[in-house]
Amino acid sequence: MITQTRQTATPTVPVLDLDARLALIDAAMTVRLDQAAVEHEVRIAHLPGADPIPHIDAPPVLAPAAAPCPYSTPLARTLHRARVRLETGGWCTGALRDEEGAACLLGAVRAEAGSRDQADGAAAVLLEAIRRDFPHAESVPAWNDNRATPWLAARYLDRAAELAHNRNL
């Protein structure tokens, strides 16, 4: 007896690479997200306050009041006001003031001083405070222009104000 073996053809499943599988999953997820968005719109269509971005009448944001000056001496008060000016008006390099109103260290001191002598005295105390940590600083403007951020400028205005206060200047 002759037996015949029949071979059945096995279906070949295409092998997909990673990019093709990700593209298929992306397409499926996009369809599901679109369906969910439509279902969400249908569910909330009857709600009167279902505006996606409701209008909120919030009170305006108020800036905190400036702390009172803790110093009683004229040069210390000038240096403190110069620090406040840098915080509120901004800090710059390369000029006493820029177009937006920001000032460098010397520009802030001059703007807050009551006279030229007071500005010169405050600048001298500021330079002394700077030279304690940066002994090779040539001048206040030169030191200011070598800084990348304003936090050191404000820090040395604070140090100079303390120094002037302790010397009763």
What are the helix (H) ranges across 48-136? 74-89, 105-112, 116-133
For residue 111, the enclosing domain spans: 74-166
> Does 148 map to a domain?
yes
- Of 63 and 158, which is predicted with more confidence? 158
In this prediction, residue 56 carries a pLDDT of 60
How much is the average pLDDT of 28-49?
A: 82
The answer to whether position 102 is within a domain reads yes
Dist CA 66 CA 88 (whole Å): 10
Q: Domain for residue 45, yes or no? A: no
> What average pLDDT score do residues 89-98 get?
92
Q: Per the domain annotation, does 83 fall within a domain?
A: yes
Establish if 137 belongs to a structural domain: yes
Q: Say what the pLDDT of residue 126 is.
A: 96
Q: Quick check: is 124 in a domain?
A: yes
Does residue 131 carry a pLDDT above 80? yes
- Kindly state whether residue 36 falls inside one of the protein's structural domains: no
Residue 60 in this model has a pLDDT that exceeds 70: no
SS3 58: coil
- The CA–CA distances, whole Å, from 6 to 1, 3, 9, 90 equal 16, 9, 10, 89
Q: What pLDDT was estimated at residue 25?
A: 93
Count of the separate structural domains present in the chain: 1
Model pLDDT, residue 51: 54
pLDDT at position 48: 63
Does residue 120 lie in a domain region?
yes
